[in-house]
């Protein structure tokens, strides 16, 4: 496993070795705020209220955005579940994500965590409606394809189409597939957080897709995952039917 961080973008580069294991564990987390709070402070109290709000707000639709408190003590957050995840699994993921952030980023005023099933983010800065360009990571399948150039072109073709499809879908979510041969199919997924506009969703996804040469050249599967959007492709189905 190898990782690196650069300013202003945070990139984590590592291999996808065991998909089943990752699905039950956090993929990545960033404690991105340099500011701290104490548990009995007004911000700490507002953060607890925010978590409780998101536990209720997110599962029915798969997305929730909220703020609690005012001024410098205001806590802002969002949670997003993958578009095919059930309400119960969504709630389970959101609750676990907030708990895990409390363990891994104690007293930090801003943090974000990703699972296969959900994303959870909070901050003392109101980020609603803005593309998050600061929190991003890559994942890829360690196996490579035999003929990279046409494969890479097909990956971009599929994901670019899904970028357009997701940005015009009310849930900002799209999946699709592309037949590569009689025995091989490429599967893809794109998704944005629903606080963005349709145009910003597409911009976020297109920018992420432009990272393909950096993250996933010739790889049989890969992801670029950020605080506002993500994509994934594989040579096997990646969502529940």
Hey, do 13-123 and 136-234 end up sharing a CATH topology, with the first three levels equal?
Answer: yes
Q: What is the pLDDT of residue 24?
A: 66
How many beta carbons lie within 10 A of that of residue 1, not counting itself?
A: 7
Look at strands 229-234 and 222-226 and give their pairing: antiparallel
pTM, full prediction: 0.89
Q: What is the pLDDT of residue 31?
A: 98
Given a cut of 50, is residue 176 above it in pLDDT? yes
- The residue ranges of every structural domain in the chain are 13-123, 136-234
CATH of domain 13-123: 3.30.430.20
Q: What is the pLDDT of residue 240?
A: 74
Q: Calculate Rg over the CA atoms of the chain.
A: 18
Looking at CATH, the fold of the domain delimited by 136-234 is given as: Killer Toxin P4; Chain A (3.30.430)
Among candidates 223, 189, 228, which has minimal Cα distance to 80?
A: 228
Average pLDDT over residues 120-137: 97
């Amino acid at each position: 496993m190898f990782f690196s961080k650069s300013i202003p973008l945070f990139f984590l580069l590592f291999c996808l070795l065991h998909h089943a294991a990752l699905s039950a564990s956090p993929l990545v987390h960033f404690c991105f705020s340099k500011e701290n709070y104490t548990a009995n402070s007004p911000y700490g109290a507002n953060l607890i209220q925010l978590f409780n709000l998101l536990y209720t707000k997110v599962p029915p639709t798969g997305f929730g955005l909220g703020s609690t408190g005012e001024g410098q003590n205001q806590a802002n957050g969002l949670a997003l579940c993958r578009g095919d995840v059930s309400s119960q699994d969504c709630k389970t993921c959101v609750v676990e994500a907030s708990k895990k952030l409390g363990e891994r980023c104690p007293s930090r005023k801003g943090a974000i965590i990703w699972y296969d099933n959900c994303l959870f983010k909070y901050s003392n800065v109101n980020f609603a409606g803005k593309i998050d360009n600061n929190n991003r990571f890559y994942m890829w399948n360690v196996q490579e394809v035999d003929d990279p150039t046409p494969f890479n072109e097909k990956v971009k073709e599929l994901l670019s189409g899904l970028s357009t499809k997701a940005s015009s879908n009310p849930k900002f979510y799209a999946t699709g597939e592309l037949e590569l041969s009689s025995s091989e199919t490429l599967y893809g997924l794109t998704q944005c957080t629903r606080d963005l506009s349709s145009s910003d969703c597409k911009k976020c996804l297109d920018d992420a897709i432009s990272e393909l040469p950096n993250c996933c050249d010739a790889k049989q599967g890969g992801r670029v995952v950020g605080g506002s959007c993500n994509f994934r492709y594989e040579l096997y189905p990646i969502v529940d039917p």
